[in-house]
Amino acid sequence: MVVVAWLGAYWLRFNLGEVPEPMMTSAVAALLAVVPLQVGVFCYFGLYRGVWRFASIPDLMRILKAVGIGMLMVSVVLFVATRLEGVPRSVPVLYGLLLVILLSGPRLLYRWLKDHHIDLRTGERVLIVGAGKAGEMLARDLLRKTGHSYIPVAFVDDKQRRQGQELHGIPVVAGCDEIPRVVQSHQIDLVMLAVPSARPVQRRRLVALCEQSGVPFRTVPELGALMSGQVSINQLREVSIEDLLGRDPVSLDWAAINSGLAGKTILITGAGGSIGSELCRQIARLEPAGLLLLDHSEFNLYAIELELSEKFSGVSRHVYIGDVGDRGTVERLFATHKPDVVFHAAAYKHVPLLEHQVREAVSNNVLGTRIVAQAADRHGCSQFVLISTDKAVNPANVMGSTKRLAEIFCQNLNARSKTRFVTVRFGNVLGSTGSVVPLFRKQIEAGGPVTVTHPDIERYFMTIPEACQLIMQAAVIGEGGEIFVLDMNEPVKISYLAEQMIRLSGKTPGEDIEIKYIGLRPGEKLYEELFHDQEALQPTDHQKILLAQHRKVDWDALDAAMQDMERACGEFDDARLMRRLREFVPENRIAQAS
């Protein structure tokens, strides 16, 4: 290219005509200096190390620098050697321009051919939603890989300034509201959502538009997974119900969480459950001095211990199969390991099942909490975190009443202990064991019907990781005696949840899959509440965590009631247990029914 550019400069100098003989001889002779000088400069600037397949702006900048320096050096050397005799003054400039074109042109052409595959391939016509960074990366990846059977045809984007532009030759044809029209006019076979940072409300809108279009749709992975390198932009997946019901990313004070939990021995009861197992994962990342796992389910405990051993082999772990209601097991665990912090997640939570299992609900949720809390007090734990539920507010069922009494016990024990007792209360978590999402998924796979108790029933939802992160945040900001209420945003109608899950499975509610309303189950409320009217909810330093004021009770009466409930459990006296629940949970709405 150096030879072609040098001789081409002479040819251009003489208007594409014949170069006079003396000057042509001088030009050829000058190549003895021009070629070695220019090649040396090319080597210095690394032009021979670039991969043409990925040629880009940095490569063009290197070419400009190498050609500019080379042109200057050639001019200086020829001036010193021959005083530029026989070299027209315009030749060095023309040489530089030609050489830039000759070096950059083939590189960019090669990349363009590779990216666009001029092979008349056929495949599914794709509409990409989002012409931002993620959309550009997705389009580039689809164009580059011959193995893909996808052809990106158009973009849609809500940003007005992007509409009418092109990315990699693909036009941005309209805003997102036009998805159904664009799908029809451009004969789209598949819609790809390339908006990994979109908020759940925005995702719900886009999914609704995609459903109107009548073609399948997929989404790129979440922004966090892309940035961490866990997945690539082309690892498309179906839109999940978590995408639609999830919430905005939570901003946490990780420095405070780390200082509060790192290097400490931490006990997690109910460690094999949905919340307990996620707490194990989150806390293991903070490098605690040790993790103590307690659960009465052998399989669940085995599963989380196996996962921790693979991902966090450097964290010291002690695994115990046992019941929180077994005083001997709990006492031995505390005496042996002296935990600094306790996350008490062990609880029975299935509302209809516990309506007729009062003894078991009280034994586990109330007396089990009392046993673990008293052991934490006796053995000098710095902090005890009780994980509660929105069903403890104005409870209409046995489960909620037992959790409320567990809250009352821990709040009032705090005033008599050096251990800081903190309660964290929140609603449903998506995908937890026994929750509605896995049930609906199973019913849809079986062809229906999907059973919903009531058309108007609503519940609060958050993801399991978010709930656990907020639990840890509340744990480090708690000073003792507080009830922290996690901000659950707006409640979601269960009927909407069922409809969306059916649509996401590629079926139509009411046609392919029936939604059947079966009536409220025993102890079930239409609407859950996160705090009682008298709890005077207040903000905290964290926008997603609120503080409810607890109610004080007479300690001696409470302690006597607990001892009586323990005796009643031994005697299987459900009626006595219910009377005690009514006594200390006066807002209990099951009193009349029972």
CATH number of the domain that 227 lies in?
A: 3.40.50.720
Exposure of 359 by Cβ count < 10 A (0-12 exposed, 13-18 middle, 19+ buried)? middle
Distances (CA, A) of 224 to 231, 286, 462, 465: 10, 19, 17, 13
Query: What pLDDT shows up at residue 549?
Result: 64
User: Rounded to two decimals, what is the model's pTM?
Assistant: 0.64
Q: Which domain holds residue 75?
A: 2-116
Cα(559)–Cα(114) distance, rounded to whole angstroms?
77
pLDDT the model gives residue 66: 84
pLDDT of residue 255: 80
Which of 95, 116, 137 lies at the terminal end of a domain, its last residue? 116
The pLDDT value recorded for residue 343 is: 95
Given the residues 114, 133, 264, 391, the one annotated as active site: 391
Is 418 in the active site? no
Is residue 186 within 8 A of residue 151, CB to CB? The reply is no
**How many structural domains is the chain composed of?**
3
| C-beta neighbour count of 23 within 10 angstroms | 17
- Do residues 476 and 565 share a domain? yes
**CA pair distance 16, 81, nearest whole angstrom:** 28
Rounded to the nearest angstrom, the gap between the alpha carbon of residue 113 and the centroid of all alpha carbons in its chain is 36
Q: What is the pLDDT of residue 557?
A: 92
* pLDDT beneath 50: ranges in the chain: 118-120, 223-233, 591-594
What pLDDT, on a 0 to 100 scale, did the predictor assign at position 323?
A: 93
Q: Any idea of the CA torsion for 451, 456, 459, 461, to the nearest 10 degrees?
A: 80
Q: What is the pLDDT of residues 406-430, one digit of tens each?
A: 999 998 999 899 999 999 887 776 6
User: What pLDDT, on a 0 to 100 scale, did the predictor assign at position 205?
Assistant: 86
Same domain? For 417 and 357 the reply is: yes
In a domain? residue 502? no
Judgement on whether residues 128 and 112 belong to the same structural domain of the protein:
no
Structural domain ending residue among the three candidates 65, 91, 116: 116
Give the residue among 177, 133, 129 at the shortest CA–CA distance from 153.
129
Shared-domain flag, residues 23 and 128: no
- Considering the domain architecture, whether residues 420 and 557 belong to the same structural domain is answered as yes
pLDDT of residue 335: 95
Q: Are residues 547 and 428 in the same domain?
A: yes
313 shares its domain with 372: yes
313 and 411 in one domain? yes
Residue type, 292: L
Residue 220 neighbours by CB under 8 Å, 6+ apart: 134, 138, 192, 193, 194, 195, 196, 226, 233, 234, 235, 236
CA-only gyration radius of the chain, Å: 35
Residue 418's pLDDT is: 93
